[in-house]
């Protein structure tokens, strides 16, 4: 450590015609190489002379080569110069940055090239013929007192906060408008004579029957929903996902999830999802009993099995394609078995336990007695009919989160680091408020039109934003990732993106 090395031969490989052609394709598709040094990825350096505060930023990885579009020639980078930045400490040197400077040099001699000669020919690949390639690297240690070890990730994850604050301001304006609409609705409700007790309602039933709108539904609004055995597990799983997201983001905000812990976010999310099975079972069991359900064990097993088994089936389908392509992203069989064991040992018992506790609790009390005969549902206005009403309800939440969603998608699919958990918390709260207020407005319009089957619709209104999130993900896929390639190699990445975006 700390010793410069002008040049070291890594290896000399004889590549056949097929490998030569594939290397050219990788170069043309802008593939990157990622080396890890002291848990830091070797990065491509970008210098911004106009930015005096942050003149240097890092992009993890470095390009496998350069492609000359005019000449249609691909040049493979077979030499990499590593600049390892360090700070002096009482315990020795501590690495604060790793910069990679790749070069393409025509070299098949098995020895180090002359790095001082800038006029050397470049290494051409992509031809249907075998050839020999020598790979080499050099290491230079550079002291950089401007970067502290505790802030060495700043250059990797530094983004402009101005964009995030713009997104927050945009979301706040939307929420203020929605809050105004909700306030008007509540004021109209409070100003009317709707505070009768149950006895008063019975005494003045004839008078109420002459009224119109949502007040006619006092005897039907708490009617048990259709397919309660499905809705209760779905709502329980929704609570599970919500608590998983809250706990994971909270750990990230507190600094527990460090970028140096590769895969830490995914691992934490999986563990939290399993632990939150207790909340899913409890909420599902409590609702199930409130709706008159009897078989609490069946409800708990449905809650524990439905979503995990669906995700497992989709992941296995995707893994078949990844295994076929010999992709390193394929999940090993041992990992799949481990996840199954963890689910059976942790989530399943916790969900059943939570379902049992929730089922034993006293059901939610209904303030109104439900009529024996359901009230006929009148024709709805066009804007409240399916699927138009669901599409209308999901539009506003997308406008709240689409800017932050871009950074999240970029971090997932373009190897960028996302560490703006503070902004994510703010946007998440604003998104939740927007979804709640939008659902309140849509359900009020539904009840005011005389439609008392609101349980499933309220869930659909709240979840409808996911439709727009998926569409936005597809737009990102086709415009940013340049996918949809006609050859077979483009099918697996496209399928991976679509299936992961769905869930």
36-92: pLDDT as tens digits: 988 888 988 887 666 656 667 788 889 999 998 888 899 999 999 999 999 988 777
Specify the residue for token string 């609705």: 185
> Measuring CA to CA, which residue among 17, 13, 19, 6 is closest to residue 110?
13
The partner residues of 84 in beta bridges, in order of sequence, read 98, 141
Beta-strand pair 79-89/131-143: parallel
- Residue bearing the bigger pLDDT, 499 or 247: 247
> Measuring CA to CA, which residue among 342, 367, 358, 242 is closest to residue 300?
358
In terms of residue numbers, what domain contains 16?
Answer: 5-157
pLDDT of residue 344: 93
**333-342 and 296-324 are packed helices; what angle lies between their axes, rounded to 10 degrees?**
170
CA 355 – CA 279 distance, rounded (Å)? 8
Residues 183 and 294 grouped into a single domain = no
Q: Residue 266 in contact with residue 322, Cβ under 8 Å?
A: no
Task: Give the mean model confidence (pLDDT) for residues 249-262.
Answer: 78
Residues 387 and 447 grouped into a single domain = yes
- Residue bearing the bigger pLDDT, 52 or 297: 297
Angle 237-498-348 (CA atoms, 0-180°, nearest 5)?
Answer: 25
Residue 3's SS3 state is coil
pLDDT of residue 198: 46
Does residue 371 lie in a domain region?
no
Residues 126 and 17 grouped into a single domain = yes
> Measuring CA to CA, which residue among 468, 496, 466, 467 is closest to residue 481?
496
% of the chain at pLDDT higher than 70: 88
214 pLDDT band (50/70/90 cuts)? low
Please state whether the predicted TM-score (pTM) of the whole model is above 0.75: yes
416 pLDDT band (50/70/90 cuts)? low
| Biggest distance spanned by C-alpha atoms of the chain | 101
Residues 137 and 31 grouped into a single domain = yes
pLDDT at 205 over 60: no
> Measuring CA to CA, which residue among 186, 133, 102, 104 is closest to residue 19?
133
pLDDT at 130 over 70: yes
- The domain boundary residue, chosen from 313, 331, 365: 365
Residues 138 and 180 grouped into a single domain = no
- The domain boundary residue, chosen from 157, 175, 190: 157
Task: Give the mean model confidence (pLDDT) for residues 335-362.
Answer: 93
Does residue 430 lie in a domain region?
yes
pLDDT of residue 352: 96
The secondary structure element, H or E, covering residue 309 is: helix 296-324
Beta-strand pair 92-103/79-89: antiparallel
- Residue bearing the bigger pLDDT, 440 or 191: 440
pLDDT of residue 158: 64
- Residue bearing the bigger pLDDT, 347 or 326: 347
Does residue 303 lie in a domain region?
yes
Does residue 470 lie in a domain region?
yes
Residues 299 and 350 grouped into a single domain = yes
pLDDT at 263 over 50: yes
Task: Give the mean model confidence (pLDDT) for residues 204-223.
Answer: 62
Residues 426 and 481 grouped into a single domain = yes
- The domain boundary residue, chosen from 157, 183, 214: 157
Residues 136 and 202 grouped into a single domain = no
CA 216 – CA 448 distance, rounded (Å)? 9
Residues 297 and 428 grouped into a single domain = no
Average of per-residue pLDDT values in the chain = 83
Does residue 237 lie in a domain region?
yes
CA 171 – CA 312 distance, rounded (Å)? 35
pLDDT of residue 50: 62
Task: Please give the tally of structural domains in the chain.
Answer: 3
Residues 326 and 450 grouped into a single domain = no
Residues 12 and 69 grouped into a single domain = yes
Task: Give the mean model confidence (pLDDT) for residues 453-464.
Answer: 92
Task: Give the mean model confidence (pLDDT) for residues 427-439.
Answer: 89
């Amino acid at each position: 450590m700390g010793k410069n090395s002008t040049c070291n031969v890594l290896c000399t490989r004889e590549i056949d015609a097929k490998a030569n052609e594939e290397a050219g394709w990788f170069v043309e598709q802008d593939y990157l190489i990622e080396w890890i040094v002291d848990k830091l990825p070797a990065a491509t350096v970008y210098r911004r002379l106009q930015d005096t505060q942050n003149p240097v930023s890092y992009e993890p990885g470095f390009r496998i080569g350069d492609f000359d579009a005019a000449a249609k020639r691909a040049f493979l980078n077979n030499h990499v110069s590593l600049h390892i930045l360090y700070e002096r400490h009482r315990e020795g040197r501590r690495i604060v940055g790793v910069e990679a400077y790749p070069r393409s040099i025509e070299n098949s001699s098995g020895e180090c090239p002359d790095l001082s000669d800038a006029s050397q020919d470049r290494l051409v690949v992509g031809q249907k013929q075998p050839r020999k390639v020598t790979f080499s690297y050099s290491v230079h240690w550079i002291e950089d007192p401007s970067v502290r070890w505790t802030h060495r990730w700043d250059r990797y994850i530094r983004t402009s906060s101005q964009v995030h604050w713009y997104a927050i301001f945009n979301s706040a304006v939307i929420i203020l408008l929605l809050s105004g609409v909700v306030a008007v609705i509540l004021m109209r409700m409070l100003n009317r004579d709707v505070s009768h007790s149950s006895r008063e309602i019975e005494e003045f039933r004839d008078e109420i029957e002459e009224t119109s709108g949502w007040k006619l539904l006092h005897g039907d609004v708490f009617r048990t929903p259709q397919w309660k055995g499905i809705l209760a597990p779905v709502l329980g799983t929704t609570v599970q996902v919500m608590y998983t997201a809250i706990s994971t983001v909270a750990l990230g905000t507190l600094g527990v999830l460090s970028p140096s812990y590769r895969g830490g976010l995914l691992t934490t999310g999986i563990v939290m999802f399993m632990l939150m099975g207790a909340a899913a079972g409890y909420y599902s069991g409590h609702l199930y009993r409130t709706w008159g359900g009897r078989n609490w064990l069946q409800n708990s097993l449905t809650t524990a099995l439905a979503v995990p088994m669906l995700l497992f089936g989709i992941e296995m389908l995707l893994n078949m394609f990844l295994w076929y392509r010999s992709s390193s992203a394929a999940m090993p069989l041992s990992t799949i078995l481990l996840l199954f064991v963890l689910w059976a040992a942790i989530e399943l018992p916790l969900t059943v336990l939570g379902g049992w506790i929730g089922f034993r609790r006293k059901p939610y009390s209904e303030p109104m007695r439900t009529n024996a005969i359901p009230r006929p549902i009148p024709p709805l206005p066009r804007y409240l009919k399916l699927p138009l009403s669901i599409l209308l309800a999901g539009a506003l939440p997308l406008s709240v989160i689409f800017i932050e969603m871009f950074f999240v998608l970029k971090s997932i699919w373009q190897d960028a680091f996302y560490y703006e958990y503070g902004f994510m918390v703010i946007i998440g709260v604003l998104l939740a408020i927007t979804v709640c207020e939008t659902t309140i407005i849509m359900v009020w319009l539904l009840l005011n039109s005389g439609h008392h089957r609101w349980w499933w619709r309220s869930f659909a209104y709240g979840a409808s934003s996911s439709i727009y999130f998926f569409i936005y993900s597809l737009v990102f896929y086709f415009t940013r990732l340049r996918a949809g390639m006609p050859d077979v190699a483009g099918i697996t990445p496209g399928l991976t993106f679509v299936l992961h975006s769905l869930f």
